[in-house]
């Protein structure tokens, strides 16, 4: 494998200008005060006011700043320097205080020396982790005693499916996969080309690495809807704006959420 971090960082920097103009991220509404948090995390992660919150893999920080608007004292971390520059700019522009750090998640202990009440991460993060065991160690490292880790994420079951909803991949194959498919999840026809390196973890991997770090799993929830057009042509939006499969005979988990405490 080539230098996966350099390749992934380059790709993430290149998609920032596309994402910031996308309908999915809807930056204009966010600037006017709309939260970018979806109903799952908004309803499951309440009581953030006055708490310190570390957002791992925060992209350009709209969710981080949405938690700050709810009163959390936030720190967002991401590998992509263009994402972090934009996050800092947004924080100033909307006058919502936040700390943003550009770092590889595994190198974070070298640049951040604090512990947090809440660690949050969401939607499209596990596939970028070269080691899920090290990820859990990072979570444990930055979590205070009595603190809470929360993730809402694409369900690993969907990793076996291609964008055109065919069973193509192996659930138990961890990768890395070299991906050079064009476009990005906000626009599959966007002129983005480049190789990324991705991994795949099972739902038991996620649970077991956290247990190994002595975190106590409070719940694992699975959902039959998702937040973006993951399988174009096969999905439709319901009245709540959630993406569900058009074929109602098919019922598979599309998202999961998990809460663990220390
Ligand atoms: C799909 S996005 C996260 C989505 C976020 N919930 C949102 O909606 O904006 C994944 C993020 O992970 C970041 N990332 C990828 N590899 C990383 C690493 N090794 N360390 C830190 N961040 C990383 C990318 O730069 C990207 O911003």
pLDDT tens digits, one per residue of 33-50 = 999 999 999 999 999 999
pLDDT tens digits, one per residue of 231-255 = 999 999 999 999 999 999 999 999 9
pLDDT at 2: 67
pLDDT at 182: 84
Cα-flanking dihedrals φ and ψ of residue 19, to 5°? -65, -40
Alpha carbon of 125 to ligand 1 centroid (Å): 6
68-101 as b/e: b if 16+ CB within 10 A: bbbebbbbbbbbbebbbebbbebbeebebebbbb
Structural domain that includes position 67: 4-261
Q: Choose the residue to mutate in 59, 103, 110 for probing ligand 1, maximizing ligand atoms within 8 Å of C-beta.
A: 59
How many Å separate Cα 7 from the centre of its chain?
19
65 pLDDT higher than 60: yes
Nearest CA to ligand 1 atom 27: 59
Helix axes 203-212, 132-142, angle to 10 degrees: 40
Using the structure block, give the residue that is written with the tokens 């975190």: 215
Over residues 53-61, the mean pLDDT reads 98
Alpha carbon of 249 to ligand 1 centroid (Å): 33
Q: Is pTM, for the whole model, over 0.85?
A: yes
77 pLDDT higher than 90: yes
Pick the closest to residue 230 from 170, 159, 171 (CA basis). 159
Predicted confidence band at 188 (pLDDT cuts at 50, 70, 90)? confident
Kindly give the number of the ligand 1 atom that is closest to the alpha carbon of 185: 1
Over residues 156-172, the mean pLDDT reads 94
1 pLDDT higher than 60: no
181 pLDDT higher than 90: no
16 pLDDT higher than 60: yes
pLDDT tens digits, one per residue of 115-140 = 999 999 999 999 999 999 999 999 99
* CATH label of the domain that carries residue 75: 3.40.50.150
Quote the mean pLDDT of the chain: 95
The percentage of the chain sitting over the pLDDT mark of 90, rounded to a whole number, equals 89
| Tally of domains within the chain | 1
Kindly give the number of the ligand 1 atom that is closest to the alpha carbon of 58: 5
């Amino acid at each position: 494998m080539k230098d996966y971090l350099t390749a992934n960082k380059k790709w993430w920097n290149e998609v920032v200008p596309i994402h910031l103009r996308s309908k999915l991220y809807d930056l204009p509404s966010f600037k006017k005060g709309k939260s970018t948090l979806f109903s799952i995390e908004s309803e499951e992660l309440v009581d953030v006011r006055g708490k310190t919150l570390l957002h791992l893999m925060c992209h350009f920080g709209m969710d981080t700043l949405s938690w700050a608007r709810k009163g959390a004292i936030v720190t967002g971390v991401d590998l992509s320097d263009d994402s972090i520059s934009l996050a800092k700019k947004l924080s100033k522009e909307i006058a919502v205080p936040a700390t943003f750090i550009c770092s590889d998640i595994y190198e974070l202990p070298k640049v951040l020396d604090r512990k947090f009440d809440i660690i949050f991460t969401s939607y499209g993060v596990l596939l970028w982790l070269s080691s899920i065991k090290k990820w859990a160690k990072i979570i444990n490292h930055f979590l205070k005693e009595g603190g809470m880790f929360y993730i809402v994420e694409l369900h690993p079951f969907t990793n076996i499916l291609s964008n055109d909803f065919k069973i193509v991949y192996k659930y138990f194959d961890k990768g890395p996969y070299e991906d050079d498919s064009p476009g990005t999840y906000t626009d599959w026809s966007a002129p983005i080309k480049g190789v990324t390196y991705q991994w795949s973890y099972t739902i038991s991997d996620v649970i077991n690495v956290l247990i190994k770090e002595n975190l106590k799993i409070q719940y694992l929830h699975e959902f039959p809807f998702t937040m973006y057009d993951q399988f174009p042509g096969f999905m439709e939006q319901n009245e709540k704006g959630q993406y569900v499969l058009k074929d109602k005979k098919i019922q598979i988990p599309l998202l999961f959420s998990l809460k663990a405490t220390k």
